[in-house]
Structure 1
Amino acid sequence: MTTKKLHILLIEDNPGDVRLIQEMLGKVKKEYSLEHAGTLAEGLDKLSKGLFDVTLLDMNLPDSSGIDSIPEIKKISPKIPIVMLTGFDDEETAVAALHLGVQDYLIKDRIDRTLLLRSLRYSIERKRTLDALVESEEKYKSLVDNALTGVYKTNLDGDILFANHALTEMLEYESPEELMSLRAFSLYRTPEERNNLIGTLQKTGKVTNYEMEAVTKTGKPKNLLLSLTLIGDVISGMIIDITDRKRMEETIKHQAFHDILTGLPNRLLFLDHLVLALKQASRDHHMVAVMYLDLDNFKEINDSLGHASGDELLTAVAQRLKTCLRDSDTIARLGGDEYCILLSKTDSEDDITVIAKKTILAFRQPFVIDDHTIHTSTSIGISLYPSDGNDPEALIKNADMAMYNAKKRGKNNCQFYNPAMNTRALERMKLTNSMRRGIKSGELVLHYQPQVSLDTGKVRYAEALVRWQNPETGMLAPMQFIPLAEESGLISEIDEWVLRTACAQNREWQKAGYSEICVMVNLSPRHFQRPDFMETVSDILEETGLPSQSLGIEITERTVMKDIELTIPSLTKLSKTGVRFCIDDFGVGYSSLNYLKKLPVQMLKIDKSFILGLSSDPDYKTITNAIINLAHSLKLKVVAEGVENEDQLAFLQILRCDEAQGFHFSRPVPADEFVRFLQ
């Protein structure tokens, strides 16, 4: 099968950069052809005449600069993917470019051939996917338009001459006759709104896709979409109820910029607010403060009361923190038990100290969660603009460093950043060295959590979860050292140790007569990118004597989609040997259903955030039901993670979920304790 050659337009005035791009693509001439334009005008001319698959666009051209080139290209070729090229690492410009429809953003002195080719493929595929989604959405809208359309006629005086049953039901009236007894004015928010529409109709003869708000007979607010036509003195109208669509749009928009658990702004929205605050501060010459908060001893609370109570505490903390702030301030949850507060306009450090101390005092009142009285406190780090940094990331990083200094000083206090603070960097270096020694000296241990069949109650799967028995700090959970292991490169050694140890343990269980157990292991995304990934797994299976069908590997949606073209063949080859695969944390990533059908997976694990919300949010029940039905339609087993109580279990059984795991059954336990689940 011949692959279609991709045609690239490079708009770049620097001959050196042009030669560099040509050299990078020179080795793949069979796959790509490159055409060059030295100015925006020349590029626009070529776009208007030729068919290109993607455009590489320089940020600074002789006849255009910055992001001004993007709208011009969109006018000529609205659907072409654009990859920006720039010599500067400017996060604000990058965000602006992405908002204008750019698919990717590359810094010239950091480009290599692999990065360039990946960016080109990603940009083209992402644009095609977005176009397909738009087309699909338009088809869906057409179906809804035909099914839920209200029709009516009025005269210019406002008498309703006709109304169909769909409109009657939409506005919650008993019959068309009852609706026709009203004046058309009553359907609008104000008489002025209808008068303005009448004026437009008399000028143009029609109004299309006009969104308005109305109130039903029972007082419910409705979002309606109107299309009106004026013939003579009769207005014919079609009305679509878009209330659910508007609500969904608002929900999606809200979730993109807010933390699902607490409802607070997330990191992305916080950064947007911080960028705006810094612009205003630069113009008006005032200070901006970033406060980085971390709950003290949250891990102990979470471990003792369970994740559900821990999440309730995080939500309660968010509500209490709001009471400490001014209307102009922004509070966000960055993840875990970390929050960030933006004081967008401050006059002095004394004012900031007052707010910080008020925040600390707010924690003196204990929290009551599930009949438990919880005492906690917070440590706060503070950085200031312009003295501690001129960009958002620097201010957040320095406030984070100051927060760790507050922890070191006994917790439950606030500290301002100063340049001498390098404590955290030194501690991370120390922890990295300690981890390196710990891997070699056998300080890593595996605990196992049972995965229970909801039909039989039997355990046939055990998830292996790594812990670090650090001699200095005690037992550490993965979240306390795995991120650092990924940063330092030690994750590959840990992955291989986990895989070998889990396989060896399962072989021991099988020798003891428990032949049906399958051990599930989590591997880092980096492990799947290793060229020897399949060879490593095969060697360990042979070394330990474990049958391949007794090993399962859990992969996240993000890992799968990161390089889908490489992932599918690699997983398929390993799957043919008998190794099982499971999509972990399903529902919080961005899997394509098209690719999901192609992946050699046998199970999906529903993310625990959906299970947690089953008892409180109907949307989570709907989503969970949809995931289970989707998986079953693809002949996949479904596993629910994070089952904490009997109510969640009962609901999952009603939905015919296949397997479940969580604290309701057991915490992760050492191998010798896990045997009781096999008996």
Structure 2
Amino acid sequence: MRNEAVIELSPQEWEDLLQEKDEKLKLALLELADVRKALDKSTIVAITDHRGIIQSANDQFCRISKYSRSELIGQDHRLLNSGHHPKDFFKQMWGTIGSGQIWRGEIRNKAKDDSLYWVDTTIVPFVNQSGKIYQYVSIRSDITARKQMEEDVMKSEEKYRIIAENTSDIISMINADGDFLYLSPSHKTLWEHDVPDEQIQNLLEWIADEDREIMGYAIQYTYSTGKGYMAECRIKTKRETPIWTESKINPIIDEEGNVSSLILVTRDITERKQSEETIHHLAYHDALTDLPNRRMYVQQLTKEIMQAKRFQSNMAVLFLDMDRFKDINDSFGHDVGDMLLIEVAKRLQACVQPGDSVARLGGDEFTILLCQLTDSKQAEAVAELIMSQLQKPFELNGHLVTISSSIGIAMFPQDGENAEDLLKRADTALYSVKSQGRNGYSLFDPTMEAKSLERILMENELRKAIEHEQFQVYYQPKMDIGSQILTGMEALVRWVHPELGVISPGKFIPIAEESGMIIELGEWILKEACKQNKKWHDQGHLLKVSVNLSARQIFQKDLVEMITSTLEELELSSEWLELEITESIFVKMEEATVVLQQLRGAGIHISIDDFGTGYSSFSYIKRLPVDTIKIDASFIRDIHHNQESQAIVKAIVTIADSLQMNVIAEGIELDDQVEALQQNGCIHGQGYLFSKPLATEDFEHFLSNQ
């Protein structure tokens, strides 16, 4: 028998013990009250019986559901059913809690005002001593904001998925090795293949061999710098030739600031590249004869000069034009004249050796570069051969045409050590031949550089003409060629000499530019044109006037100030003035760009005149603040029956559109030319079909008819 110790407590000790237990009970009840208060403020709590009938609902339940407590008590949760969940959802829930297990899930409920809300729900079943469930306690948290955010994210992801899968561009994600992590379905259309997606593993495998290094560098650059990159490369497809693509590559940065992968947006630029190639060819070749133009010839000449200096060899530059070519145009028409130029180009090429160059500078002017000569006798022999070949009759469109030619020759190194000097002195020698009766050739001689008496007299008369304002401004309309609505006019100067009559601008403008008088003359023309345009504006004719600006004027110091002050003085808004510049400014690209940006900043429009005749290149145009390109008349003359001219015009229009520039065609004379221009996207033009240049009074009559 075990002995047990009996602890006897005094009455006071019993009282203290009871008091301690009472204090602990009070604290426990207080803690429970605090927990309940916290739950009521933050959590939805409901108690139902074993059938799901609500027995108790806290304040948070009432606030979220917008039902009063009396409206909830005695109801089951079907009162809150939003219809969002299928029957199987609740069947599974009841199956779980009916078996005595805790159920957790997200439920979309409907409040009393029909608004919808989401709750994260936990339902706990309670079992009595008999093992039967007698009630359920549900604890819910409002997650409506989170679900809305998730829904917004899903919609956003779906939107971008739809865009990615339906855009004509290829959207892809790659890693540092070029392996595809994602590739949009559009690649099948763009790349024209039926290779299964699982076989398309790496981007670089689809890049043309010669461009693979370019794309590899682009990937490496973007990964290493975290900066975007634009790459152009060719993609191999089922086509005979690869397609050109442009890929905008952007990095995806992870939480640690590292590049985790790359996003590429790739598009087909084959048509654009073809247009650019056409324009590039145009920039360096004469459209009619396909010979190198001045720009390409000067580059080739400069290159050969460097070689000749290195190997101490001799070269010759021949400057040639056809005697009285204008008479052939006047007698047989421009079409025959063009055919003659083409045939002359062929005969010139047949007269030179491989390695020599023949180029057309414009009009009937050609230049020939002869390399690796021993002396000037060889150059003279080639000149004699050319003259004899060109004197043979040409059969052109049923006409027999006979011509002669004049040739000037400059030798390297004695006559000049750079391209500009050689061309200038060959031209001087040519001028000497023509002044002595044409049909011959001459080597350059330093005495030829003295000005001729005729030129001296012309220069003196021009000074007097500027002083006495013997000039008039004529205006040639610019038209919408489809509707034949007047859209503007070009201001053209005419010299009306009191004794000699009207003198062609072709004669006095070059002298004005060389002597510097073009500065004063150009300022007078601009002020007269703007003054007259202001008068027409006051009469209700809101038109833009175009004024030609020579290369020499572009580089005068106070040009921008002079023009803006003129407009302010006349109260003519700058938007109604357009300045037409020639491609010769490309020689001093950086200086010209600064001036043109200042003019453009003042609101004045800029136009490139006679586009395609000299230094044309869209790589230069892209860098200039230019609004309009004027296609030279030489491309318009035969556009109605020459597919090459049509292709050139279409290419110019395509590139101009991509650069957001306007296009206007010069020299329109036939309705067929208008139709061909419209078919190739050109909608503005000027030419004799609409009107010749008109004196002020005659132009006002033209305005009245409009």
**CA distances 1:520-564 after superposition (whole Å, capped 9, x unpaired):** 322335545556546544655577x68548943233486697554
1:523 to 542, 545, 549: 549
1:571 to 570, 576, 600: 600
The 1:265–1:429 alpha-carbon spacing in structure 2 relative to 1, beyond 3 Å, is: same
Matched, 1:642 2:667: yes
Alignment of 1:499-648 (within 5 A): 499-506=526-533, 515-516=541-542, 518-527=544-553, 532-533=558-559, 536-537=562-563, 540=566, 547-548=572-573, 551-556=576-581, 562-564=591-593, 567-573=596-602, 575=603, 584=609, 588=616, 590=618, 605-608=630-633, 610-612=635-637, 614=639, 615-617=642-644, 618-626=646-654, 629-630=657-658, 638-648=663-673
Q: Which has the higher contact order (CA 8 A, sep 6+)?
A: 2
1:330 and 2:357 equivalent? yes
Kindly indicate whether residue 488 of structure 2 is the aligned counterpart of residue 461 of structure 1: yes
In 2, Cα distance between the equivalents of 1:555 and 1:460? Answer: 16
Residues 64-79 of structure 1 mapped to structure 2, 5 A cutoff: none
Task: Give 3-state SS (helix, strand or coil) of 1:420's partner.
Answer: helix
Distance 2:656 2:301 in 1: 40
The answer to whether the aligner puts 1:661 opposite 2:686 as a matched pair is yes
2:369 paired with 1:363: no
Amino acid at match of 1:296: D
Gapped runs of 5+ residues in structure 1?
Answer: 1-138, 154-161, 164-208, 226-240
Q: How much does 1:358 deviate?
A: 2.6
CA pair 299-516 structure 1, distance change in 2 beyond 3 A: farther
Per-residue deviation, 1:498 = 0.9
Judge conservation of contact 2:550–2:582 (CA < 8 Å) in 1.
no
Deviations 1:84-142 (A, max 9, x none): xxxxxxxxxxxxxxxxxxxxxxxxxxxxxxxxxxxxxxxxxxxxxxxxxxxxxxx9xx9
Classify 1:399/1:653 alpha carbon distance in 2 versus 1 (closer, same or farther; 3 Å): closer
Q: Higher mean Cα deviation, 243-252 or 652-661?
A: 243-252
* Distance in 1 between residues matched to 2:302 and 2:357, nearest whole Å: 12
C-alpha separation in 2, matches of 1:427 and 1:481: 12
- List gaps (5 residues or longer) in structure 2: 1-177, 201-231, 245-267
Letter aligned with residue 545 of structure 2: V
Report the structure number with the largest CA radius of gyration: 2
Paired AA for residue 520 in structure 1: S
Quote the offset at 1:594 in angstroms: 8.0
Between the aligned partners of 2:418 and 2:662, the Cα distance in structure 1 is 47
Cα 1:245–1:549 shift into 2, 3 Å? closer
CA distance in 2 between counterparts of 1:589 and 1:419 reads 35
CA change 1:409–1:450 in 2 (3 A) is same
Report the aligned-residue RMSD. Answer: 5.1
- Is residue 418 of structure 1 aligned with residue 445 of structure 2? yes
- Report the number of matched residues: 457
Residue 176 (structure 2) pairs with residue 148 (structure 1): no
Partner secondary structure for residue 456 of structure 1: coil
Counterpart residue number, 1:107: none
> Once the 2 structures are TM-superposed, how far is the Cα of residue 500 of structure 1 from its aligned partner?
2.7
Does structure 1 residue 490 correspond to structure 2 residue 517?
Answer: yes
Alignment partners' CA distance in 1, 2:319 and 2:499: 27
Q: Displacement, 1:465? A: 1.1
Distance of aligned partners of 1:647 and 1:289 in 2 relative to their CA distance in 1, 3 Å threshold: same
CA distance in 1, matches of 2:233, 2:663: 44
Provide the residue aligned with 2:345 in structure 1.
318
Q: Distance in 1 between matches of 2:380 and 2:622?
A: 54
2: distance between equivalents of 1:490 and 1:547? 26
Instruction: State the distance in 2 between where 1:532 and 1:551 align.
Output: 21
- Judged with a 3 Å threshold, the aligned counterparts in structure 2 of structure 1 residues 301 and 518 are, in CA distance, closer, same or farther, namely farther
- Partner-residue secondary structure (3-state), 1:667: coil
Question: Partners in 1 of 2:665 and 2:338 — Cα distance?
Answer: 18
Amino acid in the other structure paired with 2:688 = F
Give the corresponding residue for 1:377: 404
1:28-427 matches, cutoff 5 A: 147-148=190-191, 254-255=281-282, 257-271=284-298, 273-274=300-301, 287-298=314-325, 311-346=338-373, 349-365=376-392, 367=394, 376-424=403-451
Aligned equivalents of 1:475 and 1:671: distance in 2? 16
Bigger drift between 447-456 and 362-371 goes to 362-371
- Could you tell me how far apart the structure 1 residues matched to 2:500 and 2:335 are? 26
Question: Which moves more between the two structures, 558-567 or 644-653?
Answer: 558-567
Partner Cα distance (1:591, 1:555) in 2: 19
Q: Distance in 1 between matches of 2:279 and 2:455?
A: 37
Q: Kindly indicate whether residue 442 of structure 2 is the aligned counterpart of residue 442 of structure 1.
A: no
Secondary structure at 2:292 match in 1: coil
Give distance in 2, aligned partners of 1:304 and 1:666. Answer: 23
Letter aligned with residue 519 of structure 1: V
Q: What amino acid is aligned across from residue 650 of structure 1 in structure 2?
A: E
> Equivalent residue for 1:93?
none
Matched residues in 1 for 2:565 and 2:518: separation?
A: 19
The verdict on how the C-alpha distance between 1:622 and 1:541 changes in structure 2, with shifts beyond 3 A counting, is closer
Report the residue type matching 1:494 in the other structure.
L
Q: Is the 1:385–1:395 Cα contact (8 Å) retained in structure 2?
A: yes
Change (3 A) 1:451 1:413: same
- Seen in structure 2, the aligned counterparts of structure 1 residues 335 and 605 have a Cα distance that, compared at 3 Å, is closer
The residue number in structure 2 matching 1:452 is 479
Distance 1:349 1:267, change over 3 A: same
CA contact (8 A) 1:628 1:657 kept: no
Per the alignment, in what secondary structure is the counterpart of residue 494 of structure 1?
helix
Amino acid at match of 1:647: D
SS in 1 for 2:447: coil
2:670 is aligned with what amino acid?
N
Instruction: Tell whether the 8 Å contact from 2:358 to 2:369 is kept in structure 1 after alignment.
Output: yes
Cα distance in 1 for partners of 2:693, 2:418 equals 42
Asked if 1 retains the 8 angstrom alpha-carbon contact of 2:608 and 2:629, the reply is yes
> Matches of 2:619 and 2:439 in 1, distance apart?
42
> Given that residues 462 and 518 in structure 1 are in contact (C-alpha distance below 8 angstroms), is that contact kept between their aligned partners in structure 2?
yes
Counterparts in 2 of 1:428 and 1:490: CA distance versus 1, 3 Å = same
CA contact (8 A) 1:638 1:659 kept: yes
1:260-295 deviation digits (Å, cap 9, x = unpaired): 442223345445554565677678776533221123
Please give the alpha-carbon distance, in whole angstroms, between the structure 1 residues aligned to 2:683 and 2:272: 33
8 Å CA contact 1:308, 1:644 repeated in 2: no
Q: 1:445 to 1:303 in 2, by over 3 A?
A: farther
1:607/1:314 CA distance change after superposition, 3 Å: same
Structure-1 separation of matches of 2:651 and 2:691: 25
Alpha carbons of structure 1 residues 572 and 383: separation in structure 2 relative to 1, 3 Å: closer
